[in-house]
Structure 1
Amino acid sequence: MVALLAGCGSSEPPAPAPSGPPDGVSVTLGQWRSDEPAHRLQVAVRNTRDTPVYFADVQLVTPSFRTVPASRAGAAIGRTERTDLPIPYGAARCSSGGLPQLRPATVVAHLRVGSEPLREVTFDLPHPDPLLARLLRDECSEYLVRQAVSITFGQEWTESGKVMRGELIVTRRGAGAVKLAAMGGTTHYNVAYDGRSLGALPSAEQRLEIPVELTPARCDGHAFGEAKKAFQFPVRASIDGGEERVIVVAPPKPLQDRLIGFAFRACGFGR
């Protein structure tokens, strides 16, 4: 009977378990400014050996972020202090109960050293990884605020000389009194509004309209050729007197185009 049961099993050999990294090869995580709006990380590879290591694909695996498919690398990396392999990463796993603790993370790669066969390797990242801890905190802080309200740019914006005037619209989505402490500028735009804080949405009210003014923060010729975070406006908000959280608010694409044209004119570049 045992022999029959064994014969009825799959003929496929079990997949080999992931192995440890080759000697002299390690990875860390990084993120450039241009990676942030793309929800992308850099796997920084360090290779202290003379033999090149070929990375076929790379993937971040952690319970704190949704797992996305491995990113093809196709890179043979020789001796190097740092060579970056870009990868996307999934959305943070957040809860309405508060900010979660970061869970351990690994980088999983299919690689080969020299002419050896391709194999799956797991790199354990130091825990807690400071970059992942910050990304988890920022995304889940934003999640908590978005459970109570949506914060958007209004539809009506008026250009007046070197100032663009419009409104920030706060619309209730869930329970709680919301205080909006501040709205910060970006690499390309300054923000001004009346009062020391943006405003407040009492628990019994459904909508708040906040007048704001935008002006160019820089007028050098290369500014808008490098506008990677030009429209990522941080808003600090709290729910029911709790800890302030940061939510990033971006205008829709048509308004972004208008703001670029406005900045060109305000800076004297025409357009």
Structure 2
Amino acid sequence: MRRVVALVCSAALLSGLGACTGELPQVVPMPDGVTLLSDQSRLHRKDREIYIRIQNKSDKPIHIEAFTLMSERITDVKWTGDEEVPAGTEADLEYDMPSAKCGTGFTPTVRLTYRMGNGKRVESDARADDRYGSISHAMDRDCAESTLNEAAKLEVGDPSIVGDGRESVFHLPVTMTPTGKRADVRFGGFGSTVLFNQAEGSPADVDVPLTGSPIKIEMLVTPARCDGHALADDKVGRLFDVKVLGDDVGKNASFYLPLNTPQRVKFFDFYRSHCGLD
């Protein structure tokens, strides 16, 4: 629910001697016991949802009305809502991360608008550190993807299966057509996941310049293990890293190979047939 500041008009306005304005909240230090941090749930690695966690270790409830998050790597994020965090508890304020620029780390400043207990509406500035580096990694994926897309157009073809049963291998054709805009960018290979390993012959660790004629490659994978429970519970098993090498991307930069729904389904169908889980 969006909170609206009430405007109180004085008698002077009625006589034409003044104006009606809303009172701006006072900026004060963050209360003792209230801290902020940034993180992203494992379940949201494929999407853009991240959050600020408000940790309230004070002896009063804190009522959050708004925040503005500022970072050099993304445009400012503005959140409004109605969230009460009782004393001794914590709460997450979710938002969708804007597309990130190339850079290092994530150390945002947050201006929080709130009330402590029955106190007045105030604002405080605080850091919301990326405690596990998960958001920084998400931003690095944005950088890697935008860098590769500047250098080449990536297209994923229709998969096929070669062999039978435990001898079968999943083949996924990928074409990268250089744009001619970047000579420094190279393809570094594909990464494995918790469900699938790169098979022999797959370009897992390479250094291929994205220049000249279209580059046609195949990603080859086999199940990392045959476990029906792992398959049923999986959330990230089809997030294959596309490694990117270039002047303005960090070490081990990568982004997730874009797969459509039919392609993702075929990975699971292969897993079941390879492992005899049908």
Deviation at residue 180 of structure 1 after TM alignment: 2.4
Aligned pair 1:200/2:203, yes or no? no
SS in structure 2 of the partner of residue 70 of structure 1: strand
Question: Does 2:173 correspond to 1:167?
Answer: yes
Matching residue's letter, 1:249: L
Measure the CA separation in 2 of the matches of 1:202 and 1:182: 12
Q: 1:258 to 1:58 in 2, by over 3 A?
A: farther
Unaligned runs of 5+ in 2: 1-15
Alignment of 1:33 with 2:6, yes or no, is: no
Question: Conserved in 2, the CA contact under 8 Å of 1:37 and 1:228?
Answer: no
2:190, 2:204 within 8 Å by CA — same for their partners in 1? no
Residue 276 of structure 2 aligns to a residue whose secondary structure is coil
> Residue 13 of structure 2 corresponds to which residue in structure 1?
none
TM superposition shift of 1:184: 0.8
2:111 corresponds to which letter in structure 1? V
Which residue does 2:272 correspond to in 1? 264
**By how many angstroms is 1:198 displaced?**
4.8
* CA offset digits 1:148-202 (Å, max 9, x no partner): 0133321243364332223122122333265323211112212223567457356
Specify the alignment match of 2:117 in structure 1.
114
Distance 1:92 1:26 in 2: 26
Residue of structure 1 in register with 2:187 after alignment:
180
Matched, 1:51 2:60: yes
Match of 2:217 among 210, 213, 218: 210
CA contact (8 A) 1:179 1:238 kept: yes
- Give the structure 1 partner of residue 233 of structure 2: 226
**Could you list the runs of 5+ residues in structure 1 that have no partner in the other structure?**
1-6
Q: In the alignment, is the contact (CA less than 8 A) between 1:42 and 1:84 conserved in 2? A: no
- State the shift of 1:50 in Å: 2.2
Residue 235 of structure 1 and its aligned partner are, at CA, apart by 2.0
1:254 pairs with one of 258, 262, 265: 262
Alpha-carbon contact 2:66-2:81 (below 8 Å) kept = yes
Instruction: Please tell me the residue identity of whatever aligns with 1:111.
Output: Y
Give the secondary structure class of the aligned counterpart of 2:177: strand
Aligned partner of 2:42: which letter? R
Q: Following superposition of structure 1 onto structure 2, how do residues 75-154 of structure 1 map, counting pairs within 5 Å?
A: 75-80=84-89, 83-94=90-101, 99-101=102-104, 105-125=108-128, 132-154=135-157
Q: 1:101 to 1:194 in 2, by over 3 A?
A: closer
Bigger CA drift: 124-133 or 27-36? Answer: 124-133
Q: Answer whether contact 1:71 1:87 (CA < 8 A) is retained.
A: no
Task: Please say if residues 111 and 118 of structure 1, whose CA atoms lie closer than 8 Å, have aligned partners that are also in contact.
Answer: yes
SS of the counterpart of 1:145?
Answer: helix
Q: 1:71 to 1:85 in 2, by over 3 A?
A: farther
Which deviates more from structure 2 when the two are superposed, residues 242-251 or residues 210-219?
A: 242-251
Q: Give, in angstroms, the shift of residue 256 of structure 1.
A: 0.4
Q: What is the distance in 1 between the residues matched to 2:270 and 2:260?
A: 15
State the Cα RMSD in Å: 3.5
Counterpart of 1:211, as a letter, is: E
| Counterpart for residue 66 of structure 1 | 75
Aligned-residue identity in percent: 19
- The 8 Å contact of residues 187 and 245 in structure 2, kept in 1 or not, is answered as yes
Q: Which residue of 1 aligns with 2:3?
A: none
Contact 2:62-2:85 at 8 Å conserved across structures: yes
1:140 is displaced (CA, Å) by: 1.8
Greater displacement, 230-239 / 11-20: 11-20
- Opposite residue 122 of structure 1, the aligned amino acid is D
TM-score (norm 1): 0.77
| Alignment TM-score, normalising by the size of structure 2 | 0.75
Corresponding letter in the other structure for 1:25: V
